[in-house]
Structure 1
Amino acid sequence: MAPAGFVTRFAPSPTGLLHLGHAYSALTAWDAARDAGGVCLLRIEDTDTARVRPDHEAAIYEDLAWLGLRWPEPVMRQSDRRVAYAEALAHLAGLGVTYPCRCSRADIRAALAAPQEGAGASGAASGLYPGTCRGRAMSEAGPSDAIRLDLEKALALTKNQTLHWTETGPSHAGRHTLDPDAMRAHIGDVVLARKDIGTAAYHLAVVVDDAAQNVTHIVRGEDLLEATPIHRLLQALLELPEPVWHHHALVRDEDGKRLAKRNDARAIRTYREAGLTPADVRRLCDESAR
């Protein structure tokens, strides 16, 4: 159990080496906790069993320690959290806001490409799930089904609540109100549990874990800013507390693209082996974040 007060977290996936972008996010979170007299937790998001590797997890601990960062033990690992996710999913199913989905990616692409009278171009242009399986009952769910949130039913269930969240990041600071129309246009019926590995997908796992760890301030990259409304909605449905969000700038390459784990030239390990110091890496993070 995390202590009371300011609590944030850094939650990498052990599917590759940490790069400069991860370093910037980790340092931003740890600095915020230090300045507030709080704590930064480390959480390992290892549910993608097809891609996670023990050596990559070991490298996470090694790289963060080299940067001078420390965290409370034991570290939460999502692979140990299946019961908690199943309970949250059952709660949402009990509210009637989930449905099983058997559609493959190819099915979804085909449905989006098909002309629909009166639909205009918004569905295909947005790439949102078109709702092919929305009428299916949870009693029909099988091992080959993903589980989706029925956004319309979820919004109807919370229509008497005005859902807000606070953002302290540099680009979107302020108090924001959940916009149902924007969620319909840009988010849609997100996946809550994946059929390929039979466990919680990101949106469900992150809100359940943050609440379990008493996270009060979520520090993450601005590429996840658009996920905040769906997380706030899930928190309301699951009766979880509202944290404060801080979306920081991203470290980008020379072409302005966000770094990915295939950017081995920007891996923390590469900088370490080249003889750079943690202070050098911190300086590079500050110079590259935009």
Structure 2
Amino acid sequence: MVLATLLFAINSQTWAQDDKQQTREDPVRQAHWAMGAFFGTGWYQVDANRTVYILRVPPSQTLRESSIDKNGKRSLGIEFQYPLTFGFHSLDALDDFLDFDNFATVSFTPGVHVDIPVTEKWHLRPYAHIGWGTETKSTDSAWIYYGGVRSRYRLGSGNVDWSLLNAVNYAGYNPDFDKRGKYGSVMTGLEFDHPLKGVSLGGEDVWLNWHLTYNYFFDRLNFHNDEGQVESVNDQWELGLALGKGSKKLKIWFIKFEHVGLSFKASSNGVYRAISLNMSSPFTK
């Protein structure tokens, strides 16, 4: 599955004077550019408060689909992913994307995802990635790793398919900075998929897919907008809307997608906001 994510906007708020004083006395954890490969969308400080926009494109190769028969015999699903992540200084126009001088960071983090059918309704999906990234304007580079376990339990099927989603995630990079290179999170949410009456594409029913998830970060993420000004988030809400063909995948040229749409993301305190392309379920991305 190919998934591209792109940050569109993040607003800023000013902290009280006592918060700024604490920031100077005790430097807080900053989100490193290497984490763009894991978080997918985000605003990261690189060098002198540079704004970097992230584009993450992970092509994939399905070696085997998971299955479970009536006798309980299971077959594990195996998928290889090859995420290529780019960071940009600016994305005001198409020329910015085509201009190599605009590239700030590049990383490649291949990985494997295993789909385990515990029961017909409950699937687990452990995954692991490891790779390398670098800044294009300096010698700064890092080994990047992330992984975790995702869970999907189908609560209903038929005209309306809906599922309970959960996940535990962990990410890091090496060499880290002052032991600040590791992040953990947990996710929970719901996903719905149902056909739109009277709407078809290529002679097949069009389905509306949407999900609502909540991510809690064990490590508070801090973004430096300016000297003495820090924006901090410790969670993320996500609402995704997309159109697809139910269990059938969409195909554009040689690339297949589960569906096509947008995801809207924000932190509870309103500091972080993002819009990303929604091409797959949170369970399979």
> Normalising to structure 1: TM-score of the pair?
0.25
Q: Which has the higher helix share?
A: 1
> Normalising to structure 2: TM-score of the pair?
0.25
